[in-house]
Amino acid sequence: MANEHLALDATHDPQRLSWVESANSADTEFPIQNLPFGRFRAGAQEPWRIGVAIGNQVLDLQAAGLLDHGDMNRLMAAGPQTRRRLRQALSQGLTAGAPQAATWRDALVAMDSVELGLPCRIGDYTDFYVGIHHATAVGRLFRPDNPLLPNYRWVPIGYHGRASTVLASGTPFHRPRGQVKPAGDAPPALAPSSRLDLELELGIFIGTPNALGEPVPLAEAEDHVFGLALFNDWSARDFQAWEYQPLGPFLAKNFASTVSPWIVTLDALAPFRRAFERPAGDPQPLPYLDSAANQASGAFDIALEVVLQTATMRAAGQAGETISRSNYADAAYWTLAQLVTHHSVNGCALAAGDLLGTGTLSGPQPEQAGSLLELTGGGQRQIALANGEQRRFLEDGDAIALRGRCERAGFRSIGFGTCVATVLPARPL
């Protein structure tokens, strides 16, 4: 693991304030210590431009003279040194009293006045299964005596998903149709999913590519990661139960996934690293997936939250209700460096903009589950909401919002924005 990822510098100084006043608010997700990257446009006919979130504003990097192009994937592919130099320039220029304020003010646009899209072009998508508490809870539903399969503690499990249906936050999607198998001897039938679920995840965005046939060593893996975003891998549990054997997820997963608009860089996350520890008695990873540096600081302390807003709540002007809270560091059995290294160990070429989902990040306690499948015991019980409604799985009109926040004494808190989407009724055939 490169030492640059661990270094704290002036960009992390909690006393640093910005001339963008909203960035100095105690509750902002985007103080000057964060500076996440994303794409925005003023209208549907406009090209996407690269922006950095600062308070409630977006700084247009081309208009500010910091880039001569608007291609996020090109920026991501340029490597960690380019990203760090840009972060340094942004931090200095946005600091209160900086001379750049005179010209950069014209490069600011209000975040709520523009469209925020996918943070980059997503060429490929792999979903992992790093949440050990999720894997155990789901496995227990089907294999009470043997919830975790033998390979789980040895190899990061993943499958290749569908990049074309990864949606920008705020984009609604229709309830999917697929084959559902009733109990007993009845044949399967084509039907809208009645067990539609969310999955609380993080998305890992690849920056620097690796050449075909050249594995990425663990010590270099984080140099290939641009940053993290919130990610919801919607799942049709009734399709999944029927189709997943023998080749795994298909229509149960490929109809929609939602990603938040801002990529929080590993540089911004440096103050929130934690030691990565496996439970006592578990086997250590194979040597290519293990190092002292990864053990010392491979985990990230990111508090996560799932908020459900029903159509009834929305009509009444009520905010959504938090139904789960967990933490990335407590949930993940594998680090992001291990995922990159294992993904490439066979020679697989990763490209700038590729997305790796972590899998569902459930905490160790039942109420920290990152899916309704777990919260309801496989649909056997309902969760009660404060307005009197109940849910086993998602209904039409339900909206799910994911949120993430990093906090540590002595540092400014930073956030990820919101990853949100609403379920629409199934389209008629």
Contact 336, 130 (CB under 8 A): no
CATH top-level class of 3-116: mainly beta
Q: In the chain, where are the structural domains located?
A: 3-116, 125-424
Instruction: Give the pLDDT confidence score for residue 143 in this predicted structure.
Output: 86
Q: What is the pLDDT of residues 52-93, one digit of tens each?
A: 999 999 999 999 999 999 999 999 999 999 999 999 999 999
Instruction: Give the pLDDT confidence score for residue 146 in this predicted structure.
Output: 83
125-424: which CATH topology?
Fumarylacetoacetate hydrolase; domain 2 (3.90.850)
Residue ranges of the chain whose pLDDT lies below 70: 1-6
Instruction: Give the pLDDT confidence score for residue 4 in this predicted structure.
Output: 61
Report which of 208, 203, 210 is spatially closest to residue 352, judged by C-alpha positions. Answer: 208
Instruction: Give the pLDDT confidence score for residue 1 in this predicted structure.
Output: 44
Is 174 among the catalytic positions? no
pTM exceeds 0.85, yes or no: yes
Q: Hey, CA dihedral for 186, 188, 189, 191, is it positive or negative? A: positive
12, 134, 342, 343: which is the annotated catalytic residue? 134
